[in-house]
């Protein structure tokens, strides 16, 4: 059965398509529309891309699962007469509103979303088969389930946290003795008043106070935190507490009051100290909450998902300071992962936990976008001002990187989730600290943000202090680790001011081109590390289509592009290909 998951959230809308337990495609709406964190409507572009990747049509879908997010008002069946009439009038004049299913549930203290939704009309509007199952999934359960499905754990704590979803900001579940026990964060919370307790939202407000954008620039706050002192930590912490059940509470009456408090507290402060204070607050309270739940459950495996776990420094402390054997952060930890998690919930309900557990498997790669194959070569080879570089792609790319070139890697399907992991990556030498300034200027990124390294799995512990607890998470660049003694000076471009880095570990079987370039670079330089940063300009999503790659090369954002078939030079290199070699025009 083909099962389509859709999340039409107000940010990070997405779609995912499964053939029963096999994920065929997963695409964030932003990658299709080129609008960062796009959402607030049904992500039809992402839906159609998933179907196209699988070579199927809308009518082939056998089940549809939905997040409690934004839908046109005409699809709600529960509205009282006055609201129903208002919706019809607005639609008549072309001004129909989208309404949040979550907010509608909270407003009427209901959790039976299927009974509140005109599923038949919605299927007809999408051009899908009438009568197929349409189900709504719980926001935090959809975050949590992939952390279990992609492990082999027999006992684990599944912890989620974000700015809010289905009227809560956290969920706690324990998997043990062949069953999943929900401790907090289920559908019953839709019928209760919302608690004001989100450390993730506090982090977002601090990000706003720094002049950055909430739900978009929290990574900047994390990067900046290492440069400051947490002088405001105590003032923030006194408004929050962790109870004996591992639940976080605050004394703020509402979220606007929390926001105003933080803005007032941070007024006139050094931005580095603001970032350090909110970072320490996030770390201390999440660690305290998770520690109590681990103690009570007896679990030593920890699954994490939700927006706050995009914070790689928090993830490192959880792995290193708590009594856990392994931590796995779902790589699409933000709302981009909800569509896939929602399908896993559907399969769990359809088949039962015993069958669901038998289909579990680890994640190896995240190349679930469209693979354009040699389409990238056709676009680049025929473009004016773009020159093919002689030589085999692997050795040529390694030589150019070793010489200081900025080389974009374009291969396989676009990555699923917020990280570039070797399909849409920019590669550079880690040996030259000055490369950071060059990259930041050309990609229009903040000067204090560190770049991440990629390393072969067999070399990872030589360079980084990973160990068993962090190894799985490091496949997807979701955790930081301290750099081993003697390496910090050799790879300064990927080491942050606090002595940590955010590595990605790879195996050749997962991406031969990526791995072989890394190894060829090591043969030339003695360094088993490359810079891997996402192939995008600041404020734009990671690139998807070949035409977007061409624009970046033509605009001088990068020097070269390497594909499975060749290497291409852009105008920014100021070089031409003559007599079988590159000669400088200088």
Read off the pLDDT of residues 286-322 as tens digits, 9 standing for 90 and up. 999 999 999 999 999 999 999 999 999 999 999 999 9
Please tell me the CATH code under which domain 151-329 is placed: 3.30.420.40
Contact 2, 61 (CB under 8 A): yes
What average pLDDT is seen over the chain? 95
Residue 320: which residues within 8 A CB-CB, separation 6 or more? 469, 470
End-to-end CA distance of the chain: 60
Of 473, 221, 493, which Cα lies nearest the Cα of 327? Answer: 473
Contact 384, 571 (CB under 8 A): no
**CATH topology of 2-136 equal to that of 151-329?**
yes
Architecture of the CATH domain 2-136 = 2-Layer Sandwich (3.30)
Q: What is the pLDDT of residue 503?
A: 98
Helix (H, G, I), strand (E, B) or coil at 50: helix
For residue 560, what are the β-bridge partners?
A: 407, 569
pLDDT above 90 for 445: no
- Banded model confidence at residue 165, pLDDT cuts 50, 70, 90: very high
Q: Quick: pLDDT tens for 172-185.
A: 999 999 999 999 99
- Banded model confidence at residue 585, pLDDT cuts 50, 70, 90: very low
Q: Quick: pLDDT tens for 340-362.
A: 999 999 999 999 999 999 999 99
Q: What is the pLDDT of residue 446?
A: 74
Distances 136 to 39, 99, 139 between C-alpha atoms, Å: 18, 15, 9
Sequence spans of domains, the chain: 2-136, 151-329, 375-584
467 φψ region: left (φ > 0), alpha (ψ -120 to 50), beta (else): left
Q: What is the pLDDT of residue 538?
A: 85
Provide mean pLDDT across the span 429-458. Answer: 89
- Banded model confidence at residue 263, pLDDT cuts 50, 70, 90: very high
- Banded model confidence at residue 149, pLDDT cuts 50, 70, 90: very high
Q: What is the pLDDT of residue 539?
A: 87
pLDDT above 50 for 470: yes
Q: What is the pLDDT of residue 412?
A: 97
- Banded model confidence at residue 578, pLDDT cuts 50, 70, 90: very low
pLDDT above 70 for 530: yes
Q: Nearest 5°: CA angle at 394, between 391 and 398?
A: 95
Highest CATH level, class, for 375-584: alpha beta
Q: What is the pLDDT of residue 86?
A: 94
Q: Quick: pLDDT tens for 60-112.
A: 999 999 999 999 999 999 999 999 999 999 999 999 999 999 999 999 999 99
């Amino acid at each position: 059965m083909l099962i389509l998951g859709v999340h039409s959230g107000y940010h990070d809308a997405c779609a995912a398509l499964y053939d029963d337990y096999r994920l065929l495609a997963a695409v964030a709406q932003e990658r299709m529309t080129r609008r960062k964190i796009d959402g607030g409507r049904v992500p039809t572009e992402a839906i159609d891309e998933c179907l196209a990747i699988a070579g199927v049509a809308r009518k082939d879908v056998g089940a549809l699962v939905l997040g409690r997010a934004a839908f046109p008002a005409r699809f709600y069946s529960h509205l009282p007469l006055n609201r129903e009439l208002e919706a019809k009038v607005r639609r008549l004049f072309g001004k129909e509103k989208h309404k949040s299913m979550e907010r509608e549930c909270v407003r009427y203290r209901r959790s039976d979303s299927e009974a509140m939704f005109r599923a038949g009309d919605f299927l007809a509007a999408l051009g899908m088969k009438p009568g197929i199952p349409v189900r709504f999934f719980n926001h935090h359960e959809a975050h949590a389930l992939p952390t279990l499905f992609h492990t082999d754990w027999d006992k684990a704590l599944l912890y989620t946290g974000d700015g809010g979803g289905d009227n809560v900001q956290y969920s706690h579940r324990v998997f043990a003795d062949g069953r999943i026990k929900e401790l907090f964060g289920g559908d019953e919370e839709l019928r209760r008043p919302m608690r004001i307790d989100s450390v993730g939202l506090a982090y977002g407000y601090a990000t706003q106070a720094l002049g950055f954008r909430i739900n978009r620039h929290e990574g900047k706050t994390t990067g900046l935190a290492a440069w400051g002192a947490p002088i405001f930590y105590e003032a923030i912490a006194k408004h929050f507490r962790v109870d004996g059940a591992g639940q976080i509470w605050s004394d703020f009456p509402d979220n606007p009051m929390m926001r105003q408090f933080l803005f007032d507290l941070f007024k006139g402060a050094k931005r580095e100290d603001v970032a350090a204070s909110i970072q320490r607050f996030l770390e201390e309270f999440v660690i305290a909450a998770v520690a109590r739940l681990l103690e009570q459950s007896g679990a030593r495996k920890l699954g994490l998902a939700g927006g706050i776990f995009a914070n790689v420094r928090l993830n490192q402390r959880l792995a290193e300071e708590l009594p856990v054997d392994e931590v796995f952060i779902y790589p699409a930890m933000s709302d981009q992962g909800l569509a896939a998690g929602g399908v896993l919930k559907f399969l769990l309900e359809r088949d039962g936990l015993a069958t669901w557990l038998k289909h579990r498997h680890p994640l190896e790669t995240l190349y679930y976008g469209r693979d354009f194959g040699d389409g990238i070569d056709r676009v680049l080879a025929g473009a004016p001002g773009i020159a093919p570089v002689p030589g085999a792609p692997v050795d040529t790319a390694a030589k150019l990187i070793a010489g200081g070139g900025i080389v974009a890697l374009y291969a396989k399907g676009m990555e699923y989730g917020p990280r570039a992991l070797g399909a849409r990556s920019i590669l550079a030498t880690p040996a030259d600290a000055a490369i950071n300034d060059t990259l930041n200027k050309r990609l229009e990124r903040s000067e204090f943000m560190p770049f991440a390294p990629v390393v072969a799995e067999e070399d990872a512990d030589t360079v980084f202090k990973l160990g068993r607890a962090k190894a799985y998470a490091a496949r997807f660049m979701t955790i930081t680790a301290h750099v081993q003694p003697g390496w910090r000076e050799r790879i300064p471009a990927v080491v942050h001011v606090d002595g940590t880095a955010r590595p990605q570990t790879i195996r050749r079987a997962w991406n031969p081109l990526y791995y072989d370039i890394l190894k060829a670079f090591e043969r030339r330089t003695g360094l088993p590390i490359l810079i891997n940063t996402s192939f995008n300009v600041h404020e734009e999503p990671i690139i998807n289509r070949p035409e977007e790659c061409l624009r970046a090369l033509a605009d001088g954002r990068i020097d070269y592009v390497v594909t499975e078939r060749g290497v291409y030079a852009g105008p920014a290199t100021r070089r031409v290909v003559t007599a079988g070699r590159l000669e400088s025009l200088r």
